[in-house]
Amino acid sequence: MESAKVKMHKILEFQAVILAAGRGSRLPDVGGYVSKCLLPIGPYPVLWYSLNMLERIGFQETMVVVLDEDKSNILNALEGYPLKIKYELIVIPSDEDWGTANSLKHISSRVTTDLLVVSGDLITSINLNEVLNLHRKYDAALTTLFFNNGPEEWIELPGFKTKAKPDRDLVCIDKETQRLVFLASASDFEDNVTLPRILIKKFDSISIFSRLMDAHVYVMKNWVVDYIVESDKFTSVKGELIPYIVKKQLSKPKNALEKKGTSEKNIEVTKDIFDYAIENGYESRIRQMSAYNDHGFGGKGVYYNDTLRCYAHIPNKNIFGIRVNTLSSFYLCNNKILSKWEEITGSPLTERFHPNSVVKTKQIDDSSTVGDKTVISEKTSIKGCFIGANCTVENKVRLTNCVLMNNVTIKESCVLQDCVVYTGATIDTGCSMQFCLIGPHHVVPSLTTTNHQLHAETTDNMITLG
């Protein structure tokens, strides 16, 4: 007898969303529009790495929030690259200044499980299951990821010399339980930092960090998304929502008498975050029956009897992690990407030269890549360069440690070292340039000799180099 076929329905534990609507406000705009998620890192655009990272840990699909004006460019840019994960591009208006929390509100009707939120500018070798497992282990409301890679590498940047300092956070983590107990921007403090007294009383051993890099990766309970929508008081996830929830852990839910304010129809209007953090299953009953405790001094209840709990995962220092949100990180990441390729992507880079490219020179090293329909002439020397699509590099050109975006033309006898050349730019014959930024569609006149300069079509609304 033929056995009956049972149709299994797979229950999703997590959904994922990549937030890729950033304009790159810390990157030099130099008069052109740069969609941050399409900046070239090695042979692929930034966004590809986030998608690949989710694919590697088993996600079969993800949402990607993008600006409406970028949608077609992103679809075209990702076409032909190796990806199995299905991605749905969800657009938000380009002409409105939406924050990351607004983006989560926009997709909230699609969110039915706990949510993994990933920044579209993150490139890392971490296995994100480490973060998901921490979230599962402690049944967290919120779990975050920080990298502790020590001081930022000093690297000489193209463009004007700058002394811009990166934003810093003050992060306090309970050593024993990995609870994230305090989070604030270092710029909020002048000389002294005052920590809430309850922290010292509650947790036995707190580590304070001031040089961690926030990966902008968050795992949040499904109810946190509901809270974002209904409270309607957050614009930014990183700047407002996360610090708020971290702070709220230390307080207790109000009882019925303390809650004041009902509408005329006797509907409660002062719903608190604790009203969302309700355990519907058997979690609390199991904890009461269990001998488990998350900290050594069992006198205090499991999880210190907190219903709201935030955690932070800090991988070991040899894990590569960088956010491509400043000129220095863009430049540094391009310097590192090929040496870390298998670590980051999980597979070897088999084609450094696109099959549709024409590379006539033999003087091109193993740390260079060449994009689709690009033509490189015979008498050229290329070392440590990433060359985009539809570029032309003529004879007697020497390129060292340069990034050429799409549709760039380098005319005969040019020598470029440590330069970033934006889309559509042309460098005319015989130029010698070191540590320069060349803006979109700009034409550098022949025989230009220049060092640490910005060459752009317009300087209106120019953004400070980060």
Q: Is 287's pLDDT higher than 60?
A: no
Distance CA 304, CA 203 (A): 9
pLDDT score, position 465: 37
Q: Which residues contact 204 (CB under 8 A, 6 or more apart)?
A: 174, 176, 295, 296, 297
Most confident of 12-26, 105-119, 148-162, 295-309: 105-119
Mean of the pLDDT values across residues 62-73? 90
Segment among 114-128, 225-239, 253-267 with least mean pLDDT: 253-267
CA distances from 196 to 24, 201, 209, 247, 367 (A): 35, 9, 16, 10, 50
Q: What's the pLDDT band for 444 if we cut at 50, 70, 90?
A: very high
Please give the backbone phi and psi of residue 443, each rounded to the nearest 5 degrees, phi first. -110, 120
Distance CA 143, CA 238 (A): 12
**C-alpha closest to that of 150 among 207, 211, 214, 216:** 211
Distance CA 434, CA 421 (A): 12
| Tokens (6 digits) for 278 | 């309700």
What helix, strand, coil percent values describe the chain, rounded to 5? 25, 25, 55
Specify whether the CB–CB gap between 411 and 394 falls below 8 A: yes
pLDDT score, position 262: 47
Mean of the pLDDT values across residues 59-86? 88
Q: Is 98's pLDDT higher than 80?
A: yes
pLDDT score, position 312: 93
Tens-digit pLDDT profile for residues 346-388? 888 888 898 899 999 999 998 899 998 999 999 999 999 999 9
| Tokens (6 digits) for 160 | 């004007």
**C-alpha closest to that of 15 among 231, 278, 220:** 220
pLDDT score, position 16: 95
Q: Is 50's pLDDT higher than 90?
A: yes
Q: What's the pLDDT band for 291 if we cut at 50, 70, 90?
A: very low
Q: What's the pLDDT band for 5 if we cut at 50, 70, 90?
A: very low
Please give the backbone phi and psi of residue 246, each rounded to the nearest 5 degrees, phi first. -60, -40
Q: Is 286's pLDDT higher than 50?
A: no
pLDDT score, position 219: 95
pLDDT score, position 160: 67
Mean of the pLDDT values across residues 114-123? 93
**C-alpha closest to that of 46 among 344, 439, 368, 357:** 344
Mean of the pLDDT values across residues 18-36? 66
pLDDT score, position 94: 80
Specify whether the CB–CB gap between 209 and 224 falls below 8 A: no
Segment among 161-165, 186-190, 222-226, 342-346 with least mean pLDDT: 161-165
Distance CA 266, CA 165 (A): 52
Angle at 244 between CA 239 and CA 245, to 5 degrees: 120
Specify whether the CB–CB gap between 44 and 81 falls below 8 A: yes
Q: Is 121's pLDDT higher than 60?
A: yes
Share the mean pLDDT of the chain.
Answer: 81
**C-alpha closest to that of 339 among 399, 387, 384, 371:** 384
Bridge partners for 16 per DSSP: 116
